[in-house]
Copies of this chain bind each other. A is one copy, B any other.
Amino acid sequence: MDIREVLEAVRKGDMDIAEAERMLRMDHLESIGNDVLFDESREMRKNIPEVVYGQSKDYGTISEILKKRKGKLTLVSKVDEEKYAYINSLVHGTIYVKEAKVVISGKMPKTENGVIGIITAGTSDIPIAEEARIMAEAMGVRCITAYDVGVAGIHRLIEPMKRMIDEDVSAIVVAAGMEGALPTVISSLSPVPVIGVPVSVGYGYGGKGEAALMSILQSCSIGLTAVNIDNGIGAGATAALIACGRKR
């Protein structure tokens, strides 16, 4: 029963007030939660697929979750090949994107809700960029990618930047490890928001993405924000959300 039905039952005398009050207070709390309150939010968010963080879960748990989802679009991130082999033996109809370590269960959307750009500094950053790409595509957003453009050869940046601007991307994801200078450089050239993803590449002092994260956060380039180290999903989702916003 929803609120309206309770109220009508009260009006008709089919339900006494004490019972109605109890239902409205306690039993129906779930329906008074935010899902009810923010219809618009829910509507706008409905094209965001479920994402399962696969690293801290074993294959059994993941398989169970996928079964429960019954084919609704679900991404499982940070799944290595071995773990996928087990999942694959338990759940049918999934796709494994090895480069990105992502399992896709359910149907990817066909609509185009917008377009974003994805750039990486080096080849080691590509898996995280691919994670971002899959997430964005799962939200119905097309991705223009330019991988391994480096930071030194500015001329290597110009062609892909030009292409992205020409195609009117809504946001650009830049994945970079090591010293993480690329997001700053891209952001200074970009007319749209840039989401920097530090990548856990690098060694010694500032290694494992720490220097890259710091660089992105210290950057004074307007329009640059950060997600956590290796969080390709988050970067792709935010960029896609911006794209979807423009589409509306």
Question: Which A residues fall within an 8 A CB radius of B?
Answer: 3-4, 7-8, 10-11, 13, 17, 20-21, 24-26, 29-38, 40-45, 48, 51, 53, 55-57, 61, 123-124, 151-156, 158-159, 161-162, 165-166, 170-171, 178-181, 184-185, 188-193, 195, 198, 200-207, 209-231, 234-235, 237-238, 241-242, 245-246, 248
Are B227 and A217 in contact, with the CB atoms below 8 A?
A: yes
Are B123 and A61 in contact, with the CB atoms below 8 A?
A: yes
Question: How far in angstroms is the closest Cβ of chain B from A200?
Answer: 7
Are B162 and A51 in contact, with the CB atoms below 8 A?
A: no
Question: How far in angstroms is the closest Cβ of chain B from A197?
Answer: 10
Specify which of B3, B61, B214 is in contact with A205 (CB 8 Å cutoff): B214
Specify which of B25, B207, B211 is in contact with A211 (CB 8 Å cutoff): B211
Are A162 and B37 in contact, with the CB atoms below 8 A?
A: yes
Question: How far in angstroms is the closest Cβ of chain B from A127?
Answer: 10
A166 to B21, CA, bound (A): 18
List 7 other contacts, CB 8 Å, given A25-B36, A217-B231.
A11-B17, A24-B24, A30-B155, A48-B222, A56-B201, A57-B124, A195-B225
- Cβ contacts under 8 Å, A230 to chain B: 203-204
Specify which of B33, B162, B224, B238 is in contact with A38 (CB 8 Å cutoff): B162
- Cβ contacts under 8 Å, A188 to chain B: 34, 151-153
Are B151 and A184 in contact, with the CB atoms below 8 A?
A: yes
A51 to B33, CA, bound (A): 30
Q: List 24 A-B contacts (CB under 8 A).
A: A3-B24, A7-B17, A10-B10, A24-B24, A29-B155, A34-B158, A34-B188, A38-B191, A40-B166, A51-B222, A56-B124, A56-B201, A151-B181, A151-B188, A179-B214, A179-B220, A193-B238, A204-B218, A204-B228, A205-B228, A206-B218, A222-B237, A225-B234, A246-B248
Q: A215-B215, A238-B225 are in contact. Are A21 and B34 (CB under 8 A)?
A: no
Specify which of B21, B216, B246 is in contact with A3 (CB 8 Å cutoff): B21
Q: A33-B154, A170-B245 are in contact. Are A38 and B193 (CB under 8 A)?
A: no
Are B181 and A181 in contact, with the CB atoms below 8 A?
A: yes
Closest 4 CB pairs of A and B: A33-B155, A152-B188, A204-B229, A206-B214
